[in-house]
A and B are shown apart, each in its own frame.
Chain A
Amino acid sequence: MSDFFTTAVLVATAASGIRLAVPLLFASLGETFGQRSGVLNLGVDGIMLLGAFGGYYAVLQTGSVWLGLLVGIAVGLLLGLISAVISVTLKAEQGISGIGIYLFGLGMSDLLFQKLVGTPLPITKFPKLNIPILSDIPILGELLFQHSMVVYLAFLAVPVSMYIINKTTFGMNIRAVGENPEAADSLGVSVNRVRYATVTIGGTLAGVAGAALAIDLGIFQQNLTNAAGFIAIALVYFGAWRPVGVMLGSLLYGFVNAIVLQLKTLSIIPPNLSDFAAMAPAIFTILALVIVARRFKAPAALTKPYSRGE
């Protein structure tokens, strides 16, 4: 156990946790927007997978990671729009339409990969960005300021999301629509338009999450996300529909995974217990939620499609 508590190992573990949290963070931030306005999108993982392939393919062909990210955005935007049409205009059952999108994304991304790429080829990864001065701080420097670009982007998205949701008119509309769409409607807010916007944002961020994952790993494979999208959805509940909470949840999940991994590497967790160890993130999340849940309520209109006069 003493092996684990050396500075080097602890810092490396924490840095690993941060990296693992990034796709979760992007995806759950996006889903937060949607859910805050009352729309549940269970298709996040499918969008992530398609965004991941799109980003991967773009980088493979052009070598530009930024183009890859852009393609991830585009793919996510398109799928977000489609999700919005299905959930908002067609008022489909939100839990299930999402599952359909997930299955479609899972199959389609694999199919495209098999047909367009074939055998896995590595791609350029995001460049690391050592933030000047700050990255030289002992311990904290390596932990926080020596990551790849996309990590900073992810964490930057948190205050940006907070600002949008809490300090803009748009954010106010989102919250109103999520709590009481009838009232919002009567005040002249277009419920459907707000929801279109939030679901599209959600899809876009899911696409970014996928692209970020693929480019960060430098490779693509079928089911690359390994159901991370579902974890991201759950984390929105964990984070009480607030960006900071969602960030904390993503970090918790990432850290627990990283710690378990390191403990296995150092043989502190024996192999026959490794399955139980793998349960740890899920159980921690539930436990934490039980403690936290009493204090926060869900958006009242979550999963209820809205029709004027209903």
Chain B
Amino acid sequence: MTSAAEQRRGQSKYLAFLIPVGAVLAALLLGAVMLVALGANPLEGFRELFKGAFGSSDALISTALKATPLLFVGVGITIAFRANVINIGGEGQMVAGGLLATVVALTLPDLSAWIMLPAVLIAGLIGGAAWGAVPGALKAYFGVNEILSTIMLNVVAVQLMNYMLRGPLIDPGELERGTRIPQTARLQEGADLPLLFGDGRFHIGPLLAVLVAVAAYVLLWRTPLGYRVRAVGLNPDASKYAGIPVKRTIVLALTLSGAMCGLAGAVLVFGSESHRMVTDGSTAGFTGSAGFNGIVAALFGGLHPIWTIPASFLFGGLLVGGLALQRAVQVPSALILALNGLVVVFVVATDRYRKRMLARDARVDAPEPLAPPSSSPPSDGPEPPGGGDTS
């Protein structure tokens, strides 16, 4: 490869990064119009957004904490996408993971922190894995489309969560007082996520998420299992001929994906302000829609686990900043939600151009399944997920 081509590659990568940034700016511009229509000062609003997201150490902590479930989910989505499976069940998988982790904590209150913490996190993994395995199996062995089954399982998860939080898991204090708020008791301190820097809110969640992202990268590109996942995603027929168990791999991909989301749920429960599982009756009340926003973060990160790290951080910042904007200029929260949607739409809509930038010089690359990537982020594979049967 000549140095000129390498140079072009580098510049393309810059442009590729700029495009989603430009998209966000475009969405914010529309948001500014809406702010003006509501009688608010957009400059002040965006200043507060920026400050709320990145303007102080407190803000950075909030952003990191908000980004954590996004990163977990994003990594999970990436794994699934690489196997050509769409996982829209992140919300339900987060709930399932959170529930199982909570159950473990409530059932074994006296374990020492050294065991408790890994135990609840693993429980989160398992809970989410189960919630991902079901659609995986349904797809692989029954041909049930994963979009359908994951959506339906999200619905089931809500009801399960409500039942558990109002029933078996409810804070006994609630029953005594007769208020029956759907929440558990404050979970034992042994299960609190340890804090970095002593007092404060910054727990190990973000660090854990980064580690998991790195692990996912290693899994996908440095292990035979990961190879199989990507192979199935790129060419299921060729994979089958090559002796790769396609069905099992699909189940595995969705299971792993669900596990990541389940971990996000567990971290949410034990790292939350209230150190318990609580909801208002909807999944989003617990997850903050991370199950959906994580998909965006994954896309932002080009479906590469490592790049999903800064992507999640930036997107988390946007979400945190949006809340700060609302408080500062006192617009209805609904505006922030609409803005969130606009950002997603704009980023996704311009993604084609970003991919084009990355793929510009990728012609020379050998087909993916046969060549592990170089140290730079690999060019994106073909369009992710198809909805068809894979038999």
Contact = CB atoms under 8 A, between A and B. Distances in A.
A304 B144 CA distance: 19
A275 B351 contact: no
B155 interface: yes
Contact of B153 (A101, A282, A301, A304): A282
A110 B337 contact: yes
A282 B155 CA distance: 7
Interface string B300-344: 000000000000000000000000000000001011111111111
A104 B345 contact: yes
Interface residues of A, number: 57
A302 interface: yes
B91 to A, nearest CB: 10
B152 A294 contact: no
Contacts of B162: 275
B362 interface: no
Interface string A90-116: 111101110111111111101100110
Given A86-B348, A103-B344, A283-B156, A114 B295 contact: no
A153 B335 CA distance: 34
Interface in B120-159: 138, 142-145, 147-149, 151-156, 159
Residue from A96, A272, A283, A301 with most neighbouring chain B CB atoms (10 Å): A96
B322 to A, nearest CB: 10
A50 to B, nearest CB: 10
Interface stretch (B55-63, B241-249, B383-391): B383-391
Nearest to A35: B387
Given A114-B332, A233-B147, A272-B167, 20 more contacts: A40-B387, A93-B384, A100-B296, A102-B341, A104-B345, A108-B341, A110-B332, A231-B151, A234-B151, A275-B162, A282-B152, A283-B152, A286-B149, A289-B149, A290-B142, A293-B389, A294-B142, A297-B388, A300-B388, A303-B383
A231 B345 CA distance: 21
A103 B27 CA distance: 13
A27 interface: no
Dominant secondary structure at the A interface: helix
Given A103-B337, A105-B341, A108-B334, A279 B349 contact: no
Interface of B: 34, 38, 86, 88, 138, 142-145, 147-149, 151-156, 159-160, 162-163, 166-167, 289, 292, 295-296, 299, 332, 334-352, 383-389
Interface in A226-263: 227, 230-231, 233-234, 237-238
A42 interface: yes
B140 to A, nearest CB: 12
A107 B334 contact: yes
A46 interface: yes
Nearest to B39: A115
B334 A275 contact: no
Please provide the 8 A-B residue pairs with the shortest distance between their CB atoms, ordered closest to farther.
Answer: A104-B341, A107-B337, A100-B344, A107-B338, A103-B341, A100-B345, A275-B163, A110-B334
Residue from A237, A276, A302 with most neighbouring chain B CB atoms (10 Å): A237
Contacts of B138: 286, 290
14 contacts: A93-B348, A97-B345, A97-B349, A99-B292, A104-B345, A106-B337, A111-B34, A115-B332, A231-B151, A283-B152, A290-B138, A293-B389, A301-B386, A304-B383
A234 B153 contact: no
Contact of A275 (B159, B349, B352, B383): B159
Given A107-B336, A237-B145, A99 B38 contact: no
A298 interface: yes
Nearest to B147: A237
A286 B152 contact: yes
Contacts of B389: 293, 297-298
A278 interface: yes
A78 to B, nearest CB: 14
A285 interface: yes
B341 A95 contact: no
Contacts of B142: 290, 293-294
